[in-house]
Amino acid sequence: MSRPTDGIRRAVFQGSLRRRDCSHLDRISVTAVAGTPECGACRDEGTRTVHLRMCLTCGTVACCDSSPTKHARRHFAQTGHPLIRSVEPGEEWLWCYPDRAYLTGLPSGDDPR
Ligand SMILES: [Zn+2]
Ligand SMILES: [Zn+2]
Ligand SMILES: [Zn+2]
Please state which architecture CATH assigns to domain 4-103: 2-Layer Sandwich (3.30)
Domain residue limits, the chain: 4-103
Q: Please tell me the distance between residue 39's alpha carbon and the centre of ligand 2 in angstroms.
A: 5
Give residue-wise pLDDT tens across range 37-82.
999 999 999 999 999 999 999 999 999 999 999 999 999 999 999 9
Amino acid at residue number 23: S
Q: Which residues surround ligand 1, an ion (CB under 5 A)?
A: 22, 24, 82, 96, 99
Q: What are the phi and psi torsion angles at 79 (to 5°)?
A: -115, -25
pTM higher than 0.85, yes or no? no
pLDDT computed for residue 107 by the predictor: 60
pLDDT computed for residue 18 by the predictor: 59
Q: What is the mean pLDDT of the chain?
A: 86
- Angle (CA) 99-4-46 rounded to 5° is 70
Which of 113, 110, 64, 67 has its CA nearest to residue 90? 110
